[in-house]
Every structure is written in C-alpha cells, then in structure tokens.
Structure 1
Amino acid sequence: MKVLHRTGVAVFVATCLATSAWAGPGPARHDDESFSAGEPGDAKKPARIVQVTMGESDGKMTFTPDKVEVKKDEQIRFVLRNNGELDHEFILATTADNLKHAEAMKKNPDMEHADPNGIRLAPKKAGEIVWKFTKLGTFEYSCLIPGHRQAGMIGAVVVK
C-alpha cells in the first residue's frame, strides 16, 4: 500500500496488479472513472468549504448537516470529520449508484476506496473531498458500511 499526501490529508491508494476491480487477493476495490454526481474538483482552485461531521447518537448514525445546496458548476471542498466511535464513509453519488455500491459492500465490507468521490475515516479522524457539481439534480452522500445507511447515515446534495 502506498500513501500519498494531498493538501495535507493522507489518501491511501492500494496498488493492484489485477485489471479487474474485484480480482486479486486482499480487500475488493473499485476504480470506476465515471461519476454520477459530477466530477472530481481541482484542489488548486477556489472552493466553498462545507464541513460535514459523522457520528453515532441515540442509536442512529448521522451526517451533520444532512442536506447541502449548491449551484451547478460550483466546486465544494467537503471537510469531513468522524467524531464517532466507529469507522464511517462519505460516498457521493446518486441514490441508485449508492444502493448498488451498498450491495457490493455487503459482500466486501473491507472494500478499499481510492475514488475521488468517497473516503473512509477511522474514529476521530478527518479528511476531505473536492468536488465539482456539473449536473443538476439531487444527489446523496451516505455511509455504505453494512448497517450504517440503514441506521440513518444519508445526506442530500441539491444542485440548482
């Protein structure tokens, strides 16, 4: 495993010899280059900062805030903090894509994410994603670790 540092946040990238995202030893991963919620942002360009906190409370798992409004073609720097006691993810996509991904996560709960639209954070850790919303509509961010989405860990991004 190789560790890359980008804007002060460690990004873990697994090196894999297999051409298939699901092949080879070790945890499964995926490398889809098309994204349903827009495109990776440019960390060198200005972005509006949106802070999102992840955690558990009263038997629920939450994102705060659970709704963000953005303008089409706006670049957002999601500054993410896991204040919980469990690992959590922030995966940005359409609901349909996240539901499909959630099914894959049930079969491979230790799946490694090296995608620009998602990050997994250990308890008390922070990270960030820079994203440009090039499409109109409602998208979501959710935690796809088995059981977390079902416990309420879903947020919405409305692009106008």
Structure 2
Amino acid sequence: MEEHMKKTLIVFLMLSCLGSVGAYATANHSHAAIGEPGVQENVTRTIRLEAYEYRFSPSEINIKQGETIRFIVKNTGKKKHEMMIDTMQHLREHEKMMRQHDHGAHTEPNQIILEPGEEKELIWHFTQAGTIDFACPVPGHFKGMRGKIIVESK
C-alpha cells in the first residue's frame, strides 16, 4: 500500500508541475492585451526603427486602434538586440527569465532578434486602445532600450 501511495504522489506532483508550466506559458504568451500578429496584406503603415546601444529610435510611436503596422527595425549597433512588443509586466518577466537561463534562440510572434547590421520586420495588428510597450529583453539592455506605442481609440 505504501509503494502505491508513493507512486500516486509522484504522478500527482508531475502532473501538477506540468499544469503550472502550461498555465505559465498561456498567461505569458497571450497577446490579447496587445493585439495579434498581422499579415502583409493588411498593413496600413510602415514604421522604421533603429536599435543600437542602448536605445530605440524613435522610442514613442502613435498609431490608431485597428491599424496593422509593419515595423522595419535595423540594428545599427555592435551587439545583438531584440524588439519585443508586450505589456511591461511580461517584458520584465521575459528579461528576468533571460538573465536566469540562457535558452538560446527563442522567438515569439511579437518579437524579432537582430544581429549587428541586420534589418528585419515585425507585422502587428493593434486591436486594443491604450499604451503598449516595446523593449529589448537582452540582459543589460532592458533598462535603456524601451519604448511606448500609444494606440488611440478609433
């Protein structure tokens, strides 16, 4: 009986951990508050940004709710940079995770990774009015490499 209880407890703990990981992933990768990935055919405007040590230019962008923006981001710096659009809470959590664990290459639909000299695009559809943040969550970059996207109501 005791052996059966041990096995049951182990299975329960394993399933509990898997449930927690799933809940964490769902909570941290839900884009409802910031919009959704956009498609090229629906782009309403292109905005160019420059990423360099340790800034984005421009660092404040104004758009209208419902717009699909193609961000063209060029890394003119000498270090790898990222641009991630999200809530400040999720950006802080992502930066903290990157400081604690080197997960290598990781991509989300709301993020691009840029090597020095590289230029990439990120297309995003802004469904909600409000202020959305963007940042470079690379450890050591986050404090200065931040910006705001102000999404005005229709």
| TM-score band, normalised by shorter chain | 0.7 to 0.9
1:124 Cα deviation after fit: 0.3
Partner of 1:52, secondary structure, is strand
Is 1:155 the counterpart of 2:121? The answer is no
Partner of 1:103, secondary structure, is helix
1:33 Cα deviation after fit: 5.1
Q: Given the superposition, is the C-alpha separation of residues 137 and 149 from structure 1 closer, same or farther in structure 2, using an over 3 Å criterion? A: same
State the match for 1:15 in structure 2. none
Given that residues 139 and 156 in structure 1 are in contact (C-alpha distance below 8 angstroms), is that contact kept between their aligned partners in structure 2? yes
Between structure 1 and structure 2, the one with the greater Rg is 2
Moved over 4 A (4+): 30-33
Query: Structure 2 residue aligned with 1:143, among 136, 140, 144?
Result: 136
Aligned mates of 1:111, 1:73 — CA distance in 2: 34
Partner of 1:44, secondary structure, is helix
Query: Structure 2 residue aligned with 1:50, among 44, 47, 52?
Result: 47
Q: TM-score, normalised by structure 1?
A: 0.74
Q: Given the superposition, is the C-alpha separation of residues 33 and 110 from structure 1 closer, same or farther in structure 2, using an over 3 Å criterion? A: closer
State the match for 1:88 in structure 2. 81
Aligned mates of 2:137, 2:86 — CA distance in 1: 11
1:51 Cα deviation after fit: 0.3
Identity of aligned residues (%): 32
Return the structure number with greater helix share: 2
Q: Given the superposition, is the C-alpha separation of residues 111 and 136 from structure 1 closer, same or farther in structure 2, using an over 3 Å criterion? A: farther
Instruction: List runs of 5+ in structure 1 lacking aligned partners.
Output: 1-18, 23-29
Instruction: Summarize the alignment of residues 86-125 of structure 1 with structure 2, pairs less than 5 Å apart.
Output: 86-125=79-118
Write the deviation string for residues 10-53 of structure 1: whole angstroms up to 9, x where unpaired.
xxxxxxxxx99x8xxxxxxx786521311000122233000010
Query: Structure 2 residue aligned with 1:133, among 126, 129, 133?
Result: 126
The total of aligned residue pairs comes to: 129
Aligned mates of 2:104, 2:151 — CA distance in 1: 29
